[in-house]
Amino acid sequence: MAVVVVSGGTNGMGRAFALERAARGDRVVVLGRNRERGEAMADASVTFLPVDLSSVAETRQVVEHLVTAYPVVDALALFANAVAPRRVVTADGLERTFALYYLSRHLLSFGLRPALDRAATPVIVNVAGVGVTKGGVRWSDPQLVSGYSAVTAQLQAGRANDLLGVGFARRSGSRARYVLYHPGFTRSGDRSTLPLVVRGLLAAASVMARPVAEAVAPIHRFLDAPPTAPLTAVDRNRQLPLSFPTLDPRDADRLMDLTEELTAHRL
Ligand SMILES: NC(=O)c1ccc[n+]([C@@H]2O[C@H](COP(=O)([O-])OP(=O)(O)OC[C@H]3O[C@@H](n4cnc5c(N)ncnc54)[C@H](OP(=O)(O)O)[C@@H]3O)[C@@H](O)[C@H]2O)c1
């Protein structure tokens, strides 16, 4: 029975993915913030761990718990994200989108490495926006102190996740295969914090969006038959070459250094 950890497994694509893994016989550990939704999912095959993944301390605590409670983890699937229309600073002094959408994934990927390395064919799937070439990491101001917008923050953290895949493959020394996956516009996503007009536009556009089951189908395939390459990048149905401009190894090294510096001060 495979052990599958799902961050952001209480809603949207993560929830659908987690429930389907449990239905297929896996032992699933769901990380999320909403207790009501999480507890409603818990049963013999699903364990819910409530955690605010925008907090470095809470994310570290959950990593510690996971590596103790689950000595072997076969797969880690990363979905947690939330759009912040206004800049929010976490208790750690970090811009929240950076902390939640990128940094929690960094801490989980590197932190679960010992448990992943005990599995037969370990795999990490980071569900973000690989293939998007707009935006990027604002090296001079990664906490977006000036000129914040929700889109800038999403594009920055999305790119940081692309570079996390590259950085993990270069630096972790892990046997875990890293898969960057962009699901495309999907009928999911918490829109409750968005302005009414934007919500209306998204609701109208959602007829064009992919059904959740279709968007998560490739993720099941990544678990059932993990790729042999240390890093794979898939934008919807298209496999991207690792020479793709957003997967620059120098940028990845730079981000890994920056992240180590940032987290070293946040015990
Ligand atoms: N939907 C799209 O069209 C689309 C397109 C491209 C890429 N993506 C990417 O796909 C991934 C999944 O998207 P989705 O549409 O499935 O999102 P979603 O429905 O909004 O679900 C997001 C998940 O993140 C969790 N989360 C949010 N804030 C959290 C926090 N502070 N601590 C812990 N968990 C937190 C939520 O948990 P709670 O409910 O418990 O708060 C929920 O389980 C995201 O990375 C997104 O960027 C989505």
**Binding site membership of 8 for ligand 1 (Cβ less than 6 Å):** yes
- Total domain count, the chain: 1
252's tokens: 């990845």
pLDDT on residue 191: 80
- The best mutation among 11, 102, 154 to test binding of ligand 1, ranked by most ligand atoms within 8 Å of the C-beta, falls on 11
Is there a contact between 87 and 148 (Cβ–Cβ < 8 Å)? yes
Verify whether ligand 1 is closer than 6 Å to residue 52 (CB atom).
Answer: yes
The predicted-structure confidence for 50-63, as pLDDT tens digits, reads as follows 999 999 999 999 99
Nearest CA to ligand 1 atom 47: 128
Verify whether ligand 1 is closer than 6 Å to residue 189 (CB atom). yes
Q: Pairing mode, if any, of strands 75-78 and 3-7?
A: parallel
Specify whether the CB–CB gap between 264 and 178 falls below 8 A.
Answer: no
Which tokens go with 124?
């990490």
Q: Is the CB of 55 under 6 A from ligand 1?
A: no
Residues of the chain with pLDDT under 70: 267
Q: How far is residue 225's CA from residue 162's CA, in Å, rounded to a whole number?
A: 21
- 131: Cβ below 6 Å to ligand 1? no
What span, in angstroms and rounded, lies between the C-alpha atoms of 124 and 14? 14
128 C-alpha to ligand 1 centroid (Å): 10
Structure tokens at 149: 């917008």
Quote the pLDDT of residue 267. Answer: 60
Distance 183 CA to ligand 1 centre (A): 12
Q: What is the pLDDT of residue 63?
A: 98
Q: What percent of the chain has pLDDT over 90?
A: 90
For residue 183 and ligand 1, the question of a CB distance below 6 A is answered with: yes
Determine the structural domain holding residue 100 and report its residue range.
3-264
47-57 in b/e burial notation, b at 16+ Cβ within 10 A? bbbebbbbbbe
How far is it, in rounded angstroms, from Cα 221 to Cα 238?
14
Residue 35 makes CB contacts below 8 A (sequence gap 6+) with 48, 50
177-182/46-50 β-pairing: unpaired
220: domain CATH number is 3.40.50.720
Determine the Cα–Cα distance for residues 261 and 266; give it in Å rounded to an integer. Answer: 9
